[in-house]
Amino acid sequence: MLGRKYMGYLLLVPTLALLVFLSIVPFVYALILSLRHLNLKIPRLSGQFAALENFRYLMREDAEFWHSMGITVLFLVVVVGIEFLLGFGLALLLNREFRGKRILVSLAVIPMMIAPVAVGLMWRVALNYELGIVTYLIKSVGIPLKEALLGTSLTALPTLMIIDIWQWTPFIFLIMLAGLHSLPKEPYEAAQVDGASRWQIFRLVTLPLLKPLIIIALLLRVIDAFKTFDQVYILTGGGPGNATDLVCMFAYRTNFKIWNLGYGASVVIVIFIIILIVTALFYTVTQKKEEEVT
């Protein structure tokens, strides 16, 4: 008998082996690349050791990168904020029993379960200038539309935001609805005995009880919104100009279109560090929640 001591480690071996091979190795590879000049289109510089030159350029000089970071943060704040308000509001509206509720909730969650690529293409059709139904509806309301919504730098990013809100509001809604369902009855009874108003009950009982859940939902949304790529790839490719060049799209273009691999690797490392920080927050919150339960 192998004994308890080693069995646990043995069970972990396959998972860790695969993760090392396909996560750590590529990551270390990226780390090495980021310290080199390597541009497949400019072979002259290729392979030279660059120390932290890529990072210095990224941080200090690359206006395009900072533009990408800027619109990514803008995208993230607007989108997650509105999704939260709408999703939470919708959950409060539907937090009562009525016939057909189950089917309504199931239907509402469809947009976020579907392949982002399919969502992107669907909206590409709907927003098409000649045959799109959205274009048609906007025109029939009487708003003159000279170009496709995704075709001008003024409207492209807000359009992407609306699509993201459409797709992910159900996520917040679903989590908050589950949270509202699981709330204990006693604090409400106590609050009613004390004669608290509905608003007071919401602010002083519901919100504090839901706080861990709200944080979890928001952090997951922030991570996902930061990662937005598929829709951008399908809908705008980062354009027009670089109006919708969210940071993952920027990294993709640097690596796979411009083939500036050394620099692209440093972009990717910076993205990773940001995600790592948010993930750490998420981890801390979930572990704390676990401890409270047990």
Partner 1 sequence: MEQTVITSKRHPLEIALICIAAFIVFLEVAPFIWVVLMSLKSRLDIFEIPPKWIFKPILDNYYNAFVDGPFSKYLLNSLIIDSSSTLLAITIGTLAAYAFSRFTIFGAKHIFFFILTTRMCPPVVVALPLFIIYSKLKLYDTHIGVILVHTIFNLALVVWLMRGFFDEIPQEIDQAAMIDGHSEWTVFRKFILPLALPGIVVSAMFCLVFSWNEFLFALILTQFDATTLPVGIPQLVTSRGTYWGQVAAVGVVITLPVLIFALVFHKYLVRGLTFGAVKT
Contacts to partner 1 from residues 113-142, by CB under 8 A: 113-118, 121-126, 128, 130-131, 133, 136, 140
Burial of 189 (0-12, 13-18, 19+ CB in 10 A): exposed
Q: Which of residues 25-54 bind partner 1 (CB under 8 A)?
A: 25-27, 29-30, 33
Phi and psi torsions of 185, nearest 5°: -85, -35
Q: To the nearest whole angstrom, how small is the minimum distance from the Cβ of residue 232 to partner 1? A: 11
202 binds partner 1 (CB under 8 A): no
> 222 near 76, Cβ under 8 Å?
yes
The correct pick among 15, 44, 60, 292 for binding partner 1 (CB under 8 A) is 15
Q: Which stretch binds partner 1 (CB under 8 A): 15-23, 46-54, 68-76, 149-157?
A: 15-23
Which ranges constitute the DSSP H helices of the chain? 4-19, 25-34, 53-60, 63-93, 101-108, 110-113, 116-127, 133-141, 153-181, 186-193, 198-201, 207-226, 230-235, 247-256, 261-293
179 binds partner 1 (CB under 8 A): yes
Out of 170, 218, 232, 245, the residue judged to bind partner 1 by CB under 8 A: 170
Contact region with partner 1 (CB under 8 A), list: 62-70, 148-156, 183-191, 254-262: 254-262
Of the pair 243, 247, the CB lying nearest partner 1 is at 247
Crossing angle of the two packed helices 101-108 and 153-181, in degrees rounded to 10: 140
Which listed residue (43, 106, 146, 194) binds partner 1 by CB under 8 A?
106
Should residue 289 be labelled a site residue for partner 1 when binding is judged by CB under 8 A?
yes
Residue 69 contacts residue 242 (beta carbons within 8 Å): no
Contact flag: residue 261 with partner 1 (CB under 8 A):
yes
> What is the C-alpha to C-alpha distance for residues 158 and 131, in angstroms, rounded to an integer?
21
State yes or no: residue 104 binds partner 1 (CB under 8 A): yes
Pick from 229, 251, 293: nearest CA to 34: 251
* One residue of 54, 155, 159, 255 binding partner 1 per CB under 8 A: 255
Residue 145 touches partner 1, criterion: CB under 8 A: no
Residues comprising the chain, all counted: 294
- Calpha distance 52→59 (Å, rounded): 11
Which residues ranging from 215 to 234 are in contact with partner 1 (CB under 8 A)?
A: 216-217, 220, 223, 226-227, 229-230, 233-234
